[in-house]
Structure 1
């Protein structure tokens, strides 16, 4: 077994937003997601006294867990247990200190980011490589506690920290962004109950499969068109697709009046397009905003009730070799 370091090591993980395709992605359709690199979860792994075991301190939650006594349904403890089991190492004398800039239950992948940072920290403590595919698979198991039937998109885009097209059960495909993608993320201040919205969509699909399959197909068509628009830098065309995707999410029943107000406010203030992102019924919206309109749109979003606003620019990128 590798000898752990005598001093602390750190690891972090980014947030994410889904550009298009949420909910439909659970049913085998594609979705596009991008990392939000400026909003991160951090973990510092520090050596503990001999015989102390492993402890997890979540500063933002005011929570301290001892790994040996933490409940089975604790996502934090599950992440650490999965990492140790994968590495096939005994519980170390270790203190894992966690803090995050990501809002909880906001559709920005907070749970997946925290789990990714924890698992990376444990891997680094034991000197093991943090292969994105391995990390994504482990975090997916943690995501089941959060979402019941997760799509797999959060853990994948966060583990790889690259824009990607995701189809459930398939290898991720990194796509091309020809021009910088300037986004405003507006937090409604309402927690997004992703597990509940996923379950509600599943119930609707079970009751009206033909209607829901048609909606999922329409969302999938938007995703493919959006990928083509991004590849040529057509942000105006992309904005229109975001608008249509939001309308389809409204039809799926996963929007909310607060989200709709923010979407309308962003558009009226000069956004090229806007939509909810993530599970819906709360959480965040994203708006595609030209740089010269950023401040005007941000002011309009605050006036419409946004509790917090984050600015991010996804840089241009090329597809990975071989797609």
Structure 2
């Protein structure tokens, strides 16, 4: 039977999820039950665009017949409360990044789902990009030898229209700035590829470009548990926005992951193996300018896990290390520039 799916939070993030769910509904994997948002305007826009019901009350959606899985796309500070209500109704969860505002609240959310025997995944879809999957496989089989250096650069741009939404870029709404809201995807992917970070020394500041109280420029030096070292460079002040990149160098070769494009360079000096197209990755003024394929793959992994009664590879606890790293970087943040 198709898995019944509902969405809580009908803002900007709904588009790649609904495109993915429509694909999966056509394939017979899911049935779209509907969505919920406190805003009547957003409910009306959701129904008009997607042709799916919108519920004025959360309990209306959670009590809808056939609902199995809830996608929580609301602002981070609402995730735990929504999850608790959904868990009480016996629903599996797929939660937008970050898992919650803080590591402590994220741990509470993960623990609640585990205690109820329910599956809880997190939307860190960069792990599911084809080029990233290929790089992960190459690293796992030792194609680059012993990793020595691994770095991530996220030099994006967000314009005034992006920050015009009430609360956008504030601690109260988002819990953090460029690290927790934008760069988290690439930082998570770096850690997914390289493993845990052992030591970090970081700096962050808030530029004078927008009226926010979170960081929009950050940098850190990293030492991984496997001994490799590297740097993290993240900002949303780099006009017009550039594809994010991950670079890994080892004893047997190097890799450059530029958004959706991967270059693998061997130690023998042969021409590199190149996979995928660069694409924008959503780093420019339009944060939704990306293909929804990785979202579809992520949701498919969640569906497979529910049907098999196993943990998804992108389970809630797998999202906590990146938040711990972000909190460590911000512990040394500087005053506003």
Q: TM-score range, shorter-chain basis?
A: under 0.3
User: Greater relative contact order: 1 or 2 (C-alpha under 8 angstroms, separation 6 or more)?
Assistant: 1
Q: More helix per residue: 1 or 2?
A: 1
